[in-house]
């Protein structure tokens, strides 16, 4: 019997990451849990080991810190058992763009984008060589909805979506499945980072429902999974409209509307 691949989950101490860890453990996958909160990861690991019998390693790391992140990158490059990466770690900031400090913005961008792309880059060559594996990037519907006003956070989630779609184009033919998961409002601790009481918000999805839906999309090998979107035809129409522009954007001259009059 072929052993199931090990799954590395970032942001695994709570919320979406912890739920992913639980689901994959119940599917019989060994785990590597990555987060800053060692106590929470140890409690989760102890529980899952007892319930499922899988092997679980704990790798404490602040993925916004280059030195600590390098340890996780090395594990992804060198551990041939890890064939699935769940790029879940992320955060947000309270307030609007002008009120946010540049240092806080830099940390947000580092965690939400730099860590995501570096971890994907660490594992991708090995997966391509073996011709199998998966990378799951947790984005957000905010990534294609600037109207929500979450300027920097939304931009990082747009990055996650674009990265995932482009990697699917590049890596899919080499046997690597890349999935973007786009939650909407979900009951996680991230809202506390934003200074928002999630209990005052409407239409809040529970973490278990979100991850169950995301894994259904994973099993179907969806490129983009949007658990809260009931009418998938709207996303299909969005993608069709976007792709319809592509043949017209490689031009040697500006569009007529931009030509100066004599």
The single residue of 20, 153, 177, 238 carrying the catalytic annotation is: 153
Q: Establish how many alpha carbons lie within 13 A of residue 118's alpha carbon, considering only the half-sphere containing its beta carbon.
A: 22
CB atoms within 10 A of CB 101: 10
**Distance of alpha carbon 134 from alpha carbon 84, whole angstroms:** 5
**Distance of alpha carbon 258 from alpha carbon 48, whole angstroms:** 61
**Distance of alpha carbon 259 from alpha carbon 250, whole angstroms:** 17
**Distance of alpha carbon 103 from alpha carbon 168, whole angstroms:** 32
**Distance of alpha carbon 154 from alpha carbon 166, whole angstroms:** 18
Q: What share of the chain is helix, strand, coil (3-state, %, to 5)?
A: 55, 15, 35
**Distance of alpha carbon 44 from alpha carbon 218, whole angstroms:** 23
Phi and psi for 237 in degrees, rounded to 5?
Answer: -65, -40
**153: annotated active-site residue:** yes
User: Which residues are part of the catalytic machinery?
Assistant: 153
């Amino acid at each position: 019997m072929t052993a199931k691949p090990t799954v590395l989950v970032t942001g695994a101490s709570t919320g979406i990451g912890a739920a992913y860890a639980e689901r994959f453990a119940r599917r019989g996958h060994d785990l590597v849990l990555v987060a800053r909160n060692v106590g929470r990861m140890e409690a989760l690991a102890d529980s899952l080991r007892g319930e499922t019998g899988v092997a679980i390693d704990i790798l404490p790391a602040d993925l916004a810190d280059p030195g600590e992140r390098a340890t996780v990158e090395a594990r992804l490059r060198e551990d041939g058992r890890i064939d699935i990466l769940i790029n879940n770690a992320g955060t947000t900031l309270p307030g609007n763009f002008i009120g946010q400090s540049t240092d806080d913005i830099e940390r947000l961008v580092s965690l939400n984008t730099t860590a995501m792309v570096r971890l994907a880059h660490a594992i991708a060559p090995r997966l391509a060589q073996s011709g199998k594996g998966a990378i799951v990037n947790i984005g957000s519907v905010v990534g294609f909805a600037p109207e929500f006003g979450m300027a920097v956070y939304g931009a990082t989630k747009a990055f996650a979506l674009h990265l995932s779609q482009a990697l699917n184009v590049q890596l899919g033919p080499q046997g690597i499945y890349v999935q973007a998961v786009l939650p909407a409002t979900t009951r996680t601790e991230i809202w506390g980072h934003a200074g928002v009481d999630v209990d005052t918000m409407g239409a809040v999805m529970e973490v278990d429902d979100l991850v169950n839906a995301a894994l259904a999309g994973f099993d179907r090998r969806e490129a983009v999974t949007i658990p809260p979107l009931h009418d998938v035809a709207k996303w299909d129409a969005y993608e069709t409209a976007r792709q319809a522009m592509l043949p017209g954007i490689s031009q040697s001259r500006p569009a007529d509307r931009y030509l100066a009059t004599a």
